[in-house]
Amino acid sequence: MDACAALAESIDRLAARGYSSRRFLKELGRAAGVRRGPLWPFDAASGGRDRLRGRGFRPAVDDDTDGQARHFAGTVAVAARLGGAMTRWLTTHVLRDGPDTADGRLSDEAIEFVRLVRSGELPQSDAAEWVREQLCHAPTGE
């Protein structure tokens, strides 16, 4: 399964609902199995659930597992609640996803995605295309 394409399609569906930016980002986290309510920290700490298993990510952010869509969406869910700096610290020091690893780079992309959506620089209507361009495997190769 092309999980990156499925992630982008999920984002397209969420964007059509007209949520606030905060709600949009939290809803995206549900794609990683991170609930919206008060139990979200338990979901995030346990790694969530792979609802979008598969591949399709660019080599720079692909760790050769089927869980990159979950990783991205889960990191978005955490960054939407705790902010980019705290999320970066957690991914680097707790998860040990260094900036020179595929997971570290994917976390950085998720944190940037949250920043762009929250600031309004990335409208929700363009968010799926951003994921396709930034994260998904290029159809003509890289």
Residues 35-89 have pLDDT tens digits of 888 989 888 888 777 677 889 999 999 999 999 999 999 999 999 999 999 999 9
CA distances from 26 to 45, 73, 96, 137, 139 (A): 15, 9, 24, 25, 29
pLDDT in tens, 90-108: 998 887 888 899 999 999 9
Residue 31's Cβ-count burial label (10 Å; 0-12, 13-18, 19+) is buried
Structure tokens at 102: 């595929």
pTM: 0.92
